[in-house]
Structure 1
Amino acid sequence: MKKAEPDPNLSTAGRRTPPAPGHESLRAAAEELAVKALIFLAADEDRIRRFSDISGLCLENLRAAAESPNFLAGVLDYLAGDESLLLAFAANSSIDPAQVQRAQAILSPLSEA
């Protein structure tokens, strides 16, 4: 059983500490990657329809939903959950698939708790 890692955003007194320097730019880069992933999904009718069906969103409100960081985390969760889709996106974007996982961790609501 893996030992739980301490929350780096909590001080020893249990108070939240400010994010590490560069956190804002990491978050912005993660959001940008998630938007690129959404554009990749939207470029193919079957891909975006499947995403829409699974997310429960209709195509008309995807744009509004994309404003939410939690939605962007969900896009990366969806992508990471389908290895062939993840590899296709990574190849299309000329990135390492591990970048999606790193961005996913940055945007995850659990990483903010």
Structure 2
Amino acid sequence: MFQAKLGDQVIAEADEADVVHIEGNVYFPPSSVAEGVLRDSPTPYTCPWKGECQYYSVRSGDDWLTDRAWAYPEPYPTAIDKVGRDFSGFVAFWKDVQVSQTA
């Protein structure tokens, strides 16, 4: 089981079989992310091999931490081939969100 936490708040949790590992990041299925903790960010970015990125702000109590999560809503087909699995919409988190494997 993998868990993403911001402070004491669990913001995503998924079984090992359901997450995707890409470039040292754990990508969680969209359904595993807690309701109401992500908000679309307007920050533009396109990865040369994964495609157009959607950044998110992550809620921390009453505050929103800008661009602390991201996903590829429609990754390039070549990226899906390279990863070996469709990771459309899967969410990864920046370093202040602690991602760990639990027992």
TM-score by shorter chain over 0.5? no
The structure that is helix-richer by fraction is 1
Give the alignment's TM-score, normalised by structure 2: 0.28
The structure that is strand-richer by fraction is 2
Larger Rg: 1
Give the alignment's TM-score, normalised by structure 1: 0.27
